[in-house]
């Protein structure tokens, strides 16, 4: 365990998890917004939008995240020239956020769509009878009810996203698993201890998230 007594190593460990939290926070917000938009597309009356939503979900849900993030670096940045910042670390961070949120949005979309299916058809029909447009219907009647029934699945997606954020390491974002690799490289005799500390930190971070979302889901659920 003395590997964590060295302040430099402790700093690397803390920085790694801080990066995970930053990646998760930014990606979660973007994925939620994008996921809602995609869900709206998938249930919209416009065929082109429905196809766009379905295409996005099928493409990102079925592609390994590592490939998505590598594509953000070698495709978006290297080949196409999408650059967020001159500073390579800031740039890589946002490239990773792009990949993570595009990928996670596909799962958020499907969760919300399943929530929409829990809203009784009569609700939408009544709203339409009152003269509400499709977007009013979605915003005021369907999504508020749908979101309350998918709090628990969204929690699972958030937990998965937090762990998935470690994949940002493949394009050089100094997240927790890169920090772990660096520590193991120079402290090969303490591999198990290093693994254990990193794994337990993830558990300690994510168990409360799981409980919080379960509690929230119970409070918000629409009882029918």
Partner 1 sequence: MRIKRLAAIAAVAVLAFGAAACGSDSDTPSTPSGESPLVAKAKAGQLKFGVKADQPGLGLQAGSAYEGFDIEIAKIIAKGLGGDAAKNTYVTTVSANREPFIQTGQVDIVVATYTINDDRKKKVNFAGPYFTAGQDLLVPTASTITGPEGLDGKKVCSVTGSTPAKRIKEKYPKAQLQEFDAYSKCIEALNTGTVDAVTTDDIILAGYAAQSQYAGKFKLVGKPFSSEPYGIGLKLEDKAGCTKINEILKASVTDGSYKAAWDATLGKSGTPAPTLDVSKLTNCPA
Could you list the residues that contact partner 1 (CB under 8 A)? Answer: 73-74, 77-79, 87-89, 92, 169-172, 174, 178, 181-189, 191
What distance in Å separates the CA atoms of residue 213 and residue 205, rounded to the nearest whole number?
A: 13
Q: 150 in helix, strand or coil?
A: coil
Q: In the complex, what is the shortest distance from the CB of residue 164 to partner 1, in angstroms, rounded to a whole number? A: 16
Can you tell me which residue has the tokens 């009882």?
223
Structure-token pair, residue 120: 């009784």
CB of 186 to partner 1, least distance (A): 7
Cβ nearer to partner 1, comparing 85 with 214: 85
CB of 49 to partner 1, least distance (A): 35
Sign of CA dihedral 1, 176, 36, 67: negative
Residue 7 or residue 122: which is nearer to partner 1 going by CB? 7
Q: How far is the CB of 215 from partner 1 (least distance, A)?
A: 38
Q: How far apart are CA 106 and CA 200, in angstroms?
A: 29
Q: How far is the CB of 151 from partner 1 (least distance, A)?
A: 36
Rank residues 115 and 169 by Cβ distance to partner 1 and give the closer one: 169
Phi, psi (rounded to 5 degrees) for 112: -65, -40
Nearest approach, Cβ of 189 to partner 1 (angstroms)? 6
CA distance 146 to 44: 15
Q: Which is nearer to partner 1, 46 or 79 (CB)?
A: 79
Q: Taking the CB of residue 183, how many other CB atoms lie within 10 A of it?
A: 24
Nearer to partner 1, 73 or 107 (CB): 73
In the chain, which residue ranges form alpha helices assigned H by DSSP?
Answer: 7-43, 47-61, 65-71, 88-118, 121-129, 134-136, 143-149, 151-164, 176-186, 191-220
Nearer to partner 1 by C-beta: 78 or 123? 78
């Amino acid at each position: 365990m003395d590997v964590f007594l060295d302040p430099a190593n402790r700093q690397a460990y803390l920085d790694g998890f801080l990066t995970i939290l930053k990646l998760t926070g930014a990606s979660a917000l973007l994925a939620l917004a994008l996921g809602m938009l995609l869900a709206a597309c998938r249930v919209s009356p416009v065929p082109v939008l429905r196809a766009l939503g379905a295409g996005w979900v099928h493409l990102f849900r079925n592609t390994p995240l590592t490939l998505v993030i590598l594509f953000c670096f070698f495709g978006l940045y290297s080949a196409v020239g999408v650059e967020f910042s001159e500073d390579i670390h800031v740039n890589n961070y946002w490239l990773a956020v792009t990949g993570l949120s595009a990928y996670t949005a596909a799962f958020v979309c499907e969760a919300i769509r399943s929530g929409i299916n829990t809203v009784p058809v009569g609700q939408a029909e009544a709203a339409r009878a009152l003269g509400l447009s499709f977007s009013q219907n979605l915003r005021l009647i369907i999504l508020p009810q749908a979101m309350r029934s998918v709090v628990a699945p969204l929690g699972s997606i958030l937990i998965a996203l937090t762990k998935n954020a470690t994949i940002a390491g493949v394009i050089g974002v100094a997240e927790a698993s890169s920090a772990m690799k660096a520590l193991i490289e120079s402290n090969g005799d303490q591999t198990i201890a290093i693994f254990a500390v990193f794994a337990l930190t993830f558990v300690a971070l994510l168990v409360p998230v799981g409980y919080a979302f379960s509690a929230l889901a119970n409070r918000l659920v629409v009882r029918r």
